[in-house]
């Protein structure tokens, strides 16, 4: 079966998105389209659909910040959209990872699933990006093992966006060790760590930074949201979210992401977490419908590949040029980004994700068998 040409109805990027959505639906059959946001949890758990929407919005903000002129330079909208998108992305990661750890005991299971999700595409991209950047061999270990964002930073121009993957992977390892040593009660240290990181940012004047100990409070704020969502701070914390106005906090997220507002940037992790949390506990009708649209669900599904791919393509012929020529190439650049991301998500990454799930299930089965045998 082929996708008919009228699937491009509407033209432009919207038509392209519709085409790839239908192709994804055809590829996966009856499988629900949406990001594997809870790939670390059993498939029987209910998917939180609004998180699909926020992940889709987060990657669109990042793509817009990197690829489009968002207004007169004096307004600094490009500099605002990037931190907004990353704050939402990190909040979602912190929420989902912590929620998994609150519900499941196996750290090996957690790490298997996360690494099989992140590493296969990241390493392929680095095998392309580092030679493109003529990077010396000395920087390869730091990039492949996700510590290139730490001083002395060893990122390259082509793969400079990998700083966020470094922060993510370092958080995975750190929180896994915390739970391995202290058990689930170790997660109650996360609020203290979150406030400590923010305090350090204030002390060092780091309104926006890529070093882990000056950025990880955005992930930790998502972890606090997960703990509140799971009732670890009491029923009153959950009730309070119902009084948070999502539109007000969306505006506050813009303010706390804008470089002109200085000190307000230190509040960005908490504003992003409150914004996402407000929609978990009852979003306004219009916003709820937007977050649950199939288009955002599809974008969220391919969001990781979009993030990894778009930056590499910026350093190809599609990203060259000045003035009108530069932006005339943006349409084919977007099309190429979505096409490659679609293929990567459903024909490359999915194989490794499924393998990670099979390995984790096998590990759990062996652990259960060993426990039963010891009784």
Place of tokens 């994700």: 353
| Angle at 336 (CA atoms; ends 331, 342), nearest 5 degrees | 130
- Convert the pLDDT of each residue in 31-85 to its tens digit: 444 434 344 333 334 458 899 999 999 999 999 999 999 999 999 999 999 999 9
Bond preceding residue 152 cis, omega within 30 of 0: yes
What pLDDT score does 1 carry? 40
- To the nearest 10°, report the CA torsion of 197, 201, 203, 204: 130
Contact indicator for 307, 85 with CB cutoff of 8 Å: no
The H or E element spanning position 23 is: helix 12-28
| Angle at 122 (CA atoms; ends 117, 127), nearest 5 degrees | 145
Pick from 60, 76, 67: which is nearest to 328 by CA? 67
Domain ranges of the chain: 1-30, 32-373
- Convert the pLDDT of each residue in 313-368 to its tens digit: 999 999 998 888 988 999 999 999 999 999 999 999 999 999 998 998 888 788 77
| Regions of the chain where pLDDT drops below 70 | 1-47
Number of H helices and E strands in the chain, helices first, is: 17, 0
- To the nearest 10°, report the CA torsion of 84, 90, 93, 96: -70
Contact indicator for 94, 361 with CB cutoff of 8 Å: no
Pick from 254, 291, 261: which is nearest to 92 by CA? 291
* Count of alpha carbons within 13 angstroms of residue 175, beta-carbon side: 32
Those residues whose C-beta lies under 8 Å from the C-beta of residue 351, and which sit 6 or more positions away, are none
Contact indicator for 112, 358 with CB cutoff of 8 Å: no
DSSP states of 272-306 as a string? HHHHHHHHHTT--HHHHHHHT-HHHHHHHHTHHHH
Place of tokens 């060259």: 320
């Amino acid at each position: 079966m082929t996708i008919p040409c009228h699937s491009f109805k509407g033209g432009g990027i919207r038509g392209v998105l519709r085409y790839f959505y239908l192709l994804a639906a055809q590829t996966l059959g009856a499988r629900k389209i949406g990001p594997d946001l809870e790939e670390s949890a059993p498939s029987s758990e209910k998917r939180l659909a609004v998180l699909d929407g926020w992940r889709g919005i987060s990657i669109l903000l990042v793509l817009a910040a990197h690829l489009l002129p968002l207004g007169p330079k004096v307004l600094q909208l490009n500099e605002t959209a990037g931190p907004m998108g990353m704050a939402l992305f990190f909040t979602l990661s912190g929420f989902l990872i912590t929620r998994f750890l609150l519900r499941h005991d196996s750290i090996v299971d957690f790490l298997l699933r996360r690494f099989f999700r992140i590493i296969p595409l990241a390493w392929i991209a680095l095998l392309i990006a580092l030679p493109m950047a003529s990077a010396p061999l000395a920087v390869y270990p730091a990039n492949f093992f996700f510590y290139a964002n730490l001083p002395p930073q060893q990122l390259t121009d082509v793969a400079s966006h990998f700083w966020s993957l470094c922060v993510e992977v370092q958080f995975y390892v750190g929180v896994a060790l915390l739970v391995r040593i202290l058990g689930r009660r170790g997660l109650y240290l996360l609020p203290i760590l979150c406030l400590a990181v923010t305090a350090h940012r204030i002390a060092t004047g780091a309104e926006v930074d890529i070093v882990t100990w000056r950025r990880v409070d955005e992930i930790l704020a998502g972890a606090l949201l997960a703990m509140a969502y799971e009732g670890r701070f009491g029923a009153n914390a959950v009730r309070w979210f119902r009084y948070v106005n999502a539109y007000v906090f969306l505006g506050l997220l813009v303010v706390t992401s804008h470089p002109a507002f200085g000190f307000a940037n230190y509040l960005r992790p908490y504003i992003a977490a409150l914004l996402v949390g407000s929609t978990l506990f009852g979003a306004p009708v219009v916003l709820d419908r937007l977050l649950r649209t199939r288009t955002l669900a599809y974008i969220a599904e391919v969001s990781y590949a979009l993030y990894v791919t778009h930056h590499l393509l910026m350093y190809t012929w599609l990203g060259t040029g000045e003035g009108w020529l530069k932006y005339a190439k943006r349409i084919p650049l977007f099309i190429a980004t979505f096409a490659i991301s679609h293929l990567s998500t459903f024909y490359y990454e999915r194989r490794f994700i499924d393998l990670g799930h099979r390995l984790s299930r096998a590990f759990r089965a062996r652990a259960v068998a060993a426990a039963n045998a010891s009784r």
